[in-house]
Amino acid sequence: MQQLTQKLGSGDMVIQEVPYPQLGKGMVIVKNHYSIISAGTEGSTVQAARKSLIGKAKERPQQVKQVFDTLKKQGPIQTYRAVMKKLDAYSPLGYSCAGEIIEVGEGVTEFEVGDKVACAGAGYANHAEIVSVPINLCVKLDSNANLKDAAYNTLGAISMQGVRQADLRLGESCVVIGLGLLGQLAALILKASGVTVIGVDVSESAVNQALENKVVDLGLTRDTAGIEEQILNATNGIGADAVIIAAATSSLDPINFAGAITRKKGKVVVLGAVPTGFDRDPFWYRKELELKMACSYGPGRYDLNYEEKGIDYPVAYVRWTEKRNMEAFQSLISTNRIDIGYLTTHEFDFDNAKQAFDLVVEKTEPFTGIALKYDIAKTPSKDAIVTSDAQALGKINISFIGAGSYAQGNLLPNIPEHADISRVGVLTNTGTTSKRVAEKFKFQFCTSEEAEVLNDKTNTVFIATRHDSHGPYVLKALQANKHVFVEKPLCLLEDELEQIIEAKQASNKSVMIGFNRRFSPLTQKLKKVLGNNPMTMIYRVNAGAIPKDNWIQDMEIGGGRIHGEVCHFIDYLTYINGSLPIKVSATAIPDANQLNDTINVLLQFENGSSGVIAYYSNGSKSLTKEYIEVFSAGFSAVIDDFKVLKLYGKGKPNKTKLINQNKGQKEMVEAFVNGLLKDGEAPISFNEVVAVTKTCFSIIESIKRGGEQIDI
């Protein structure tokens, strides 16, 4: 399958062969007929990618700050890997397309194979021959629909949401500032609603295009003499009932101009990308104007439950969701209440997509809408894509399922180079990631088919996907007789844990979990000097807040922060004291969202040791994240953020300080692989993996019971 991609670092744009997209639950696979280039959003992305590193830095000061923060905390190696991962990645382009459904996923009932559809969403409705789209970002079309027009789906929904935010009535007036694609679409929708439309743009050709196609009742260039008076006259001396700003600029002129031409108590809707630091006087304050933002396609946007899980909002309470906005836009097209055919000023075959973007960036001739047309006669292939010469299989033959930021920064670079280790296949949710990872880390192929990475070529599987898929993938890998390395957590459901235990016993293969902190050099030094006496331990974590709408906080997908991160610290205390946890009690401070991410956990262990995990999301970012204290038989130790170790016994304290933080990721991967090479055993016992996982379930139960002690 071919897809248009660009590297952020070099700006190189190429159509390349990538794996066929995965068909997830609640999703459909669509063969594209057309996709639309957004000159504003995509044009700025492409322009930024083609700039120098200094130019990129100037455009993204917040990301530059993040780089320096990472450098300060994690050192140059991890920072370099994080930056290069971003710069070298194949970034997909496109977010608005139309085509025909060729596959439907589990739980999909409203679509069938053969349906014509329009799709939306960055990362979904890409410029690619085949796309995989969630059902709430996809709308069904008439069988005779014009798919070129329908491909404006996303842009139409964005404009529709801007019009809805203006909340205008029949006979009222609206000024649209900016007559690019979004502005023209908004004007068309307004006209179809019986609203008087006045269009303003800095470009005379854009104004003329709107006038020639009867999109506006009055069209004016921004520098027209007496423009405010003309708008006042056109609105019978009232001023505009609403202004929709569909421009993209860093200038304050659009927001201040909107204040001047809007009637008293009117509305100004920001649809484009403009600053909102308007002058308070004389207009905004005295007119008591209302400033409203139009959030992309409408209600549901950026909501994981709506977009990824397909959970709709009840129509009685949310009349116009992003999907219903798309449907309304498509209805306007199919009933000929708006004619958008004139917007497509250029059409390119998909093979010539690079030339289309050159036109967008270089502006060698006037354009409005640019459509990419696909060869629908081609038969899509699900075959794996070869990315390096076939290697002779060794004793350890590794494939990856999932290869996001963490895997690329901490797992893949640390796989030892060894004659007995071969790198086989890579499977991820997106074909672009699979392809880039397979090429960069010299795997033989990339694929979207599970069977390809679970076949006889592979005997060791690394799993680094979202948390909800860990359990199912571990189970499949064990059933396929593979050694398993899985990023934490092992699983999210207790019945999954029982199935994994049974599968492990049946396969007798190793199961390793990504508990890296026990492998840190400072931890290893501490472990060597600790005796076998019972000990008391404190692990304080200044975790920081994560928004409730982040996937990690979703109990179905991420499992929450107890499964997602607290498991690390349970394992650490288990390792330090050398015995399994047997009892736990936990309390959480009340929070409105019931996230249970500021908690105190008290653990008791088989050998009489006890430990406290103080996991807090409500602290200051300026405090180091992790702080550990251990006490035993007159001996004490402190580890501060895996940079400093202090040992206290008789005499002067012994201090070890690292140049950079080291949480043991490299040592963990090497220990796992070397263990398999040596005797087929993982460096963390399966009993410990199971005990830590059960403890997470028990912590959640204890919190529900108000801190009651639970036997593990």
The pLDDT of residue 566? 98
Of 3.30.360.10, 3.40.720.10, 2.60.260.20, 3.60.110.10, the CATH number of 517-711 is: 3.30.360.10
pLDDT at residue 349 is higher than 70: yes
Count of alpha carbons within 13 angstroms of residue 591, beta-carbon side: 18
In the 8-state DSSP scheme, what is residue 565? I
pLDDT of residue 531: 84
pLDDT for residue 587: 97
3-state SS string for 247-259: CECCCCHHHHHHH
Six token digits for residue 537: 């331990």
Is the confidence at residue 81, as pLDDT, over 80? no
pLDDT value for 57: 53
* Residue 667: pLDDT over 60: yes
Quick check: 8 and 91 in contact, CB under 8 A? yes
36, two tokens: 């639309």
Q: What's the pLDDT at 173?
A: 98
What per-residue confidence (pLDDT) applies to 391?
A: 76
Query: What Rg, from alpha-carbon coordinates, does the chain have?
Result: 29
Q: Which of 5-19, 218-232, 531-545 bottoms out in mean pLDDT, i.e. has the lowest?
A: 5-19
Q: What pLDDT sits at residue 59? A: 57
The pLDDT confidence band at residue 693, using thresholds 50, 70 and 90, is very high
Domain 388-513: give its CATH code: 3.40.50.720
- Report how far residue 497's alpha carbon sits from residue 642's, in angstroms, rounded to the nearest whole number: 31
pLDDT of residue 91: 85
Q: What CATH fold (topology level) applies to the domain 2-152+340-373?
A: Quinone Oxidoreductase; Chain A, domain 1 (3.90.180)
Q: How far is the C-alpha of 57 from the C-alpha of 68, rounded, in Å?
A: 12
- pLDDT band (50, 70, 90) for residue 342: very high
Place of tokens 């194949």: 90
Q: At what angle are helices 567-577 and 686-704 packed, to 10 degrees? A: 120
The DSSP line for 82-112 is HHHHHHHSEEE---EEEEEEEEE-TT--S--
Judge whether 446 and 438 are in contact, CB under 8 Å. yes
| Angle at the Cα of 63 from the Cα atoms of 57 and 65, rounded to 5 degrees | 95
Q: Which two tokens stand for residue 326?
A: 């798309």
Going by pLDDT thresholds of 50, 70 and 90, the confidence category of residue 633 is very high
Judge whether residue 85 has pLDDT over 60.
no
d(CA 422, CA 392): 7
pLDDT digits (tens, 9 = 90+) for 380-403: 899 999 998 877 899 999 999 999
Tell me: pLDDT of 444 over 60.
yes
Give the amino acid at 625: K
Q: Do the beta carbons of residue 251 and residue 166 sit within 8 Å?
A: no
d(CA 570, CA 684): 13
Residue 40 predicted with pLDDT over 90: no
Look at residues 692, 699, 698, 683 and name the one whose alpha carbon lies nearest to residue 580: 692
469 Cβ neighbours under 8 A, 6+ residues apart:
402, 463
Q: Which helix (H) or strand (E) holds 695?
A: helix 686-704
pLDDT band for position 641 (cuts 50, 70, 90): very high
- pLDDT value at residue 8: 73
Are the CB atoms for 482 and 509 separated by under 8 Å? yes
* End-to-end CA separation in angstroms for the chain: 49
* pTM for the predicted model, two decimal places: 0.89
In CATH, the number for domain 165-293 is: 3.40.50.720
Say how far apart CA 192 and CA 214 lie, in whole Å.
Answer: 11
Tens of pLDDT, residue by residue over 545-579, are 999 999 999 999 999 999 999 999 999 999 999 99
Lookup: tokens for 116: 């014509």
Question: What is the pLDDT averaged over residues 19-26?
Answer: 94
**152: closest CA among 410, 325, 406, 313?**
325
Q: Any residues with CB less than 8 A from the CB of 127 and at least 6 apart, and which?
A: 3, 4, 35, 37, 92, 93, 94, 97, 350, 353, 372
Question: How many Å apart are CA 52 and CA 86, to the nearest integer?
Answer: 15
The pair of three-digit structure tokens given for residue 370, joined into one six-digit string: 């640019």
pLDDT of residue 376 exceeding 60, the answer is yes
Q: What are the φ and ψ backbone dihedral angles of 463, each rounded to 5 degrees? A: -115, 115
182's tokens: 């979004």
Q: Does residue 371 surpass a pLDDT of 60?
A: yes
Give the mean pLDDT of 626-631: 98
What is the chain's mean pLDDT, rounded? 93
- CA–CA separation, 304 and 553 (whole Å): 11
Contact criterion met (CB below 8 Å) for 283 and 259: yes
Contact 100, 75 (CB under 8 A): no
| Confidence bin at 73 (pLDDT 50/70/90) | low
Instruction: Return the structure tokens found at 331.
Output: 């209805």
- At residue 709 the predicted structure's pLDDT band, cuts being 50, 70 and 90, is very high
Two domains, one topology: 388-513 and 517-711: no
Confidence of residue 478 (pLDDT cuts 50, 70, 90): very high
Q: Write the pLDDT tens digit of every residue in 273-315.
A: 999 999 999 999 999 999 999 999 999 999 999 999 999 999 9
| CA dihedral angle for residue 295, residue 296, residue 297, residue 303, rounded to 10 degrees | -70
In degrees rounded to 5, what are phi and psi of residue 120? Answer: -140, 160
Give CA–CA dist 315/327, Å, rounded: 14
pLDDT average, residue stretch 333-353: 96
Contact 539, 641 (CB under 8 A): no
Domain boundaries, given as residue ranges, for the chain: 2-152+340-373, 165-293, 388-513, 517-711
Phi, psi of 213 (to 5 degrees): -100, 15
What is the pLDDT at residue 88? 66
| pLDDT for res 129 | 97
540 band by pLDDT with thresholds 50, 70 and 90: very high
The CA-CA-CA angle for residues 253, 256, 261, to 5°, reads: 115
Average pLDDT over residues 632-644: 96
DSSP letter, residue 660: S
pLDDT band for position 616 (cuts 50, 70, 90): very high
Q: Extract the tokens encoding 644.
A: 């400093």
User: How many C-beta neighbours within 10 Å does residue 42 have?
Assistant: 22
Cα 596 to Cα 156, 537, 624, 698: the distances in Å are 40, 22, 21, 13
- Rounded to whole angstroms, the Cα distance separating 377 from 391 reads 35
Whether a cis peptide bond, with omega within 30° of 0, leads into 581 is no
Report pLDDT for 43. Answer: 67
Q: Give me the residue label for tokens 């959003």.
A: 41
pLDDT for 11: 73
Phi, psi of 644 (to 5 degrees): -130, 135
Strand partners, 270: 245, 293
> Which residue reads 């690292």 in tokens?
658
Q: What is the DSSP string of 494-559?
A: HHHHHHHHHHHHHH---EEE---GGGSHHHHHHHHH--SS--EEEEEEE-----TTSGGG-TTTT-
- Which of the four pLDDT bands, split at 50, 70 and 90, describes residue 454? very high
pLDDT in tens, 167-221: 999 999 999 999 999 999 999 999 999 999 999 999 999 999 999 999 999 999 9
